[in-house]
Amino acid sequence: MRLVSWNVQWGRDALGVVDLARTVREARRLADFDVLCLQEITRGFRALPGGPGDDQFAELAALLPGFTVIEGIGADLGVSVCADPADPAAAPGKPAMGRAPRRQFGNAIATRLPVAQVFRHLLPWPADPAAPSMQRVALEAVLDVSGATSSGRALRVLVTHLEFYSERQRLAQVDALRQLQQEAAAHAAQPAPAENAEGPFARTERPVSAIVCGDFNSAFGSAAYARMLEPLAGSPAFIDAWTALHPGATPPPTAGVYDTVQWSDGPLACDFVFVTEDLRGRLKRCEIDGATQASDHQPIVLELD
């Protein structure tokens, strides 16, 4: 199974040009992926730099025939207000007509594997008046990684994007990710019976094995990174897939390599793929691509045996 995790900045490259189709082509160049985990996908946010399309989740579905595209919305805001007198559809203080009814910002999973269940977890957002912030989300899909149907081996894949400005919020969000793992392990150990096969009261069993990937906005070795790797009661702990396959090495930077304007303090490694310890023996490859300039972040390619 091949997975690509990438903060694509709504398809905006290091020079500021938005082209989501190019982003998908670059991901395909890296790997014949079964799962594509993206951060910073938008809907209704044309005002962002470069002018992304009205619905990038729909764009991804069109660009990836044969894939299921799952959306996870973190920030979900009301209609934008436009007071541009040159816009005949707008008036001062009135919502601009003919535009997306909401502005949404979040993550996406695109996969060609069978999808058993989907969970959308809003992450903690404790008040921090010293820093700008937004609501963050972890998007989880339970996938059949064997390619079979109900008898296949299942795996949980989560993609997330933690808060940039507030360490307090990042640490709370890491704690929540760890608690979600413990919750899933408990469901796996003690599944509730299904009420019936057709209704929503299905079996609660979720596989223990998990991949958690994304932009953690936490430098390699930081407090949030270290907390993610701490032991977990009742569940296998998380390990960093890259360091597991490159023991003793420091990962190359994943942000600010080519976009030195947004990352004026210099590049850093802040994008990771964590897997549960039980998957260590199945890790075949984990690489950070340092060549592409299709985003302000570099993608990570994971391959499981």
The mean pLDDT value for 297-302 works out to 98
Structure tokens at 264: 């004026």
* pLDDT tens-digit readout, 259-293: 999 999 999 999 999 999 999 999 999 999 999 99
Phi/psi at 187 (5° precision)? -65, -40
Q: Is the pLDDT of residue 159 over 60?
A: yes
Residue with tokens 């701490």: 230
Domain parsing of the chain, residue ranges: 2-77+94-304
Mean pLDDT, range 7-29, rounded to an integer:
97
Please report the pLDDT score of residue 85 as a whole number: 45
pTM: 0.92
> Which of 56-60, 65-69, 188-192, 281-285 shows the lowest mean pLDDT across its residues?
188-192
Res 179 pLDDT > 50:
yes
CA dist 133 and 125 (Å) reads 8
pLDDT beyond 70 at 65: yes
pLDDT score at 153: 84
Instruction: Indicate the pLDDT class of residue 249, thresholds 50, 70 and 90.
Output: very high
Confidence at residue 80, expressed as pLDDT on a 0 to 100 scale = 60
As a whole number, mean pLDDT of residues 108-115 equals: 97
Lowest mean pLDDT among 32-36, 168-172, 199-203, 270-274: 199-203
Superfamily of domain 2-77+94-304: Endonuclease/exonuclease/phosphatase (3.60.10.10)
Question: What are the angstrom distances between the C-alpha of 230 and each of 211, 238, 240, 271?
Answer: 16, 7, 11, 18
